[in-house]
A and B are shown apart, each in its own frame.
Chain A
Amino acid sequence: MIAPAALLSRRTLLIAGLVAVVLVAALVLRPRGASSAGAGSPLIGKPAPALAGTTLTGQRFVLRPGHVTVVNIWASWCDPCRQELPLVAGLAQRWASDGVQVATIDTRDGASLARDFLAKVGASGLLAVQDPDGRTAVGWGATGVPETFVVDARGVVRARWIGAVSESWLTGQVRRWSTA
């Protein structure tokens, strides 16, 4: 015969086990708090991937440490980029005298189309490295366009933003890593 106390104990143990599983899951899966780094990326805290190639103006560009650098990935066929690029271009001009560099990757795009697009949105001055087959963007772990990364002066990736970047986030990140 099984005593009622034993039955209770078995049931209690079972329920306790399930509760423990749920609690552990909740503990592990809890949001890690609002991260000022924006979206996560395995690249954060690691040396920046290669960014080298020919720009839309025909010059050779290689990303090297020494400046805080904003890396923005875009394409002329991307609607959110249309809203975002004027902001990025404006900030690039404003930061140029502070030694902050803005380099963009024009991914899976045609050069003439991209140049027209930049002119149309008032962002012609942007440094844009051509990435016709999308491999440079994949090297940065991009999942689409637009995406933005902030790289510190030592060449370490510090933050990532997915989607059209906001001015407050970008200026906050640049300020943070310029003074770090």
Chain B
Amino acid sequence: MRRLSLVVLGLAVAAVVAGLLVGHRSPSQADRVAHLAGELRCPTCAGQSVADSTSPVAASMRSEVAQQVKAGRSDAQILGWFRGRYGDAIVLAPPTHGLGWVLWLVPGLVLLAGVAVVLWRRRPPPRVPVRPQRPAALSAPRLAVAGLALAVAGVGVPLLLTRHSDTSAAATPEPAPSSSTAASPVEAAFQLLQAGRPADAESLVRPVAAQPGHDRALAVLVLGLAQRAQDEPAWRATLTRFLKHHPHHPAAAQVRRLLQP
């Protein structure tokens, strides 16, 4: 009986170890690119990661991440490379050095302060007879407001500090318009296509269609349409590629009609 138990236990351990080994397979390069792009903040978007943004700079940053992953650089090296160019705030998670550690400590400190206040308020009342008096200056509502103010100040100030420590914060001698783009390359290519300049549209959109990114689908579509407008034989293959990867795209039905012989 004891031997049977040992065998069962051994099998269970083996199964767990096998499961861990299978589950721990190393991520593919595409997984790493997607993960790292999700760690980086799009510098021109409000609260979007480089993975989620369709802006030109995010697409460029994804290209850089892909290239560095391909070159065998570690995640820490790649994130460090971006920090060196855009400041600490380019990484969505606060850093664990410099002022960044404040962000990690503040929630715990605020919690501790709250517990301390509660314990302090629950002290037994003094035994000395108390004569009627005006309500305590720190009544419960006031304490709550003060606690909230402290929490806001405690969390807000370090957040601002971290943002400020990002040296990309502009200090301009005269109003400098923020970086602005009239359109993304894909949008510009689409406009060129509509304006009857398919060759220009093709040259503009080809690099975007060749690399991973959220605007790739549209780029492949515009590329295919531009090739079709110039009677290039490749247009069918390009639009078929678009349909293969994006069969449910809003433009898919129209593209299928174009491809019909």
Residues of A within 8 A of B (CB): 1-2, 4, 7-8, 10-11, 14, 17-18, 21-22, 24-25, 28-29, 31-36, 38-44, 46, 49, 75-80, 107-113, 116, 132-135, 137-147, 161-164, 166, 169
> B172 in the interface, Cβ–Cβ < 8 Å?
yes
B84 touches A163 (CB 8 A): no
Q: Which residues on the A side are within 8 Å of B44 (C-beta)?
A: 143-144
What is the minimal beta-carbon distance from B125 to any residue of chain A, in angstroms?
A: 9
Q: Which residues on the A side are within 8 Å of B133 (C-beta)?
A: 4
User: Which of the candidate stretches B156-164, B237-245, B248-256 sits at the interface with the other chain?
Assistant: B156-164
Known contacts A14-B138, A138-B64, A143-B179; is-contact A21 B170 (Cβ 8 Å): no
State the CA gap A134–B133 with chains docked (Å): 71
Q: Which residues on the A side are within 8 Å of B184 (C-beta)?
A: 77
State the CA gap A163–B86 with chains docked (Å): 17
State the CA gap A144–B58 with chains docked (Å): 10
Q: Which of A34, A46, A162 is B179 in contact with, Cβ under 8 Å? A: A162
State the CA gap A142–B85 with chains docked (Å): 8
Q: Which of B83, B85, B161, B200 is A139 in contact with, Cβ under 8 Å? A: B85
Q: A1-B126, A38-B173, A77-B185 are in contact. List 15 more A-B contacts (CB 8 A).
A: A21-B157, A22-B153, A33-B171, A36-B173, A40-B167, A43-B85, A76-B204, A77-B188, A78-B181, A79-B181, A109-B204, A143-B44, A143-B86, A147-B179, A166-B174
User: Which of the candidate stretches B9-17, B25-33, B206-214, B228-236 sits at the interface with the other chain?
Assistant: B206-214
Q: Which residues on the A side are within 8 Å of B95 (C-beta)?
A: none
Q: Which residues on the B side are within 8 Å of A39 (C-beta)?
A: 168, 170-172, 176
State the CA gap A29–B84 with chains docked (Å): 22
Q: Which of A11, A79, A107, A133 is B182 in contact with, Cβ under 8 Å? A: A79
Number of A-B contacts (CB under 8 A): 190
B161 touches A132 (CB 8 A): no
B137 touches A7 (CB 8 A): yes
18 contacts between A and B (CB under 8 A): A1-B131, A29-B161, A31-B171, A34-B172, A38-B173, A39-B171, A44-B167, A80-B180, A108-B59, A108-B60, A109-B204, A110-B202, A110-B206, A133-B60, A135-B67, A145-B56, A163-B179, A166-B174
State the CA gap A22–B177 with chains docked (Å): 30
Q: Which residues on the B side are within 8 Å of A14 (C-beta)?
A: 138, 146
Residues of B within 8 A of A (CB): 43-44, 55-57, 59-61, 63-64, 67, 83-87, 126, 128, 130-131, 133, 136-138, 146, 149-150, 153-154, 157, 160-161, 164, 167-174, 176-185, 187-188, 192, 199-200, 202-208, 211
A140 touches B164 (CB 8 A): no
State the CA gap A43–B211 with chains docked (Å): 27
What is the minimal beta-carbon distance from B164 to any residue of chain A, in angstroms?
A: 6
B203 touches A142 (CB 8 A): no
Known contacts A18-B149, A110-B203, A164-B177; is-contact A2 B136 (Cβ 8 Å): yes
A25 touches B182 (CB 8 A): no
Q: Give B199's nearest chain A residue, CB to CB.
A: A112
Q: Which residues on the A side are within 8 Å of B161 (C-beta)?
A: 25, 28-29
Most A C-beta atoms less than 10 A away, residue of B43, B172, B202, B205? B172
What is the minimal beta-carbon distance from B61 to any residue of chain A, in angstroms?
A: 5
What is the minimal beta-carbon distance from A55 to any residue of chain B, in angstroms?
A: 16
What is the minimal beta-carbon distance from A144 to any residue of chain B, in angstroms?
A: 3
A77 touches B137 (CB 8 A): no
What is the minimal beta-carbon distance from A80 to any residue of chain B, in angstroms?
A: 6
Q: Which of A10, A41, A80 is B167 in contact with, Cβ under 8 Å? A: A41
State the CA gap A19–B176 with chains docked (Å): 33
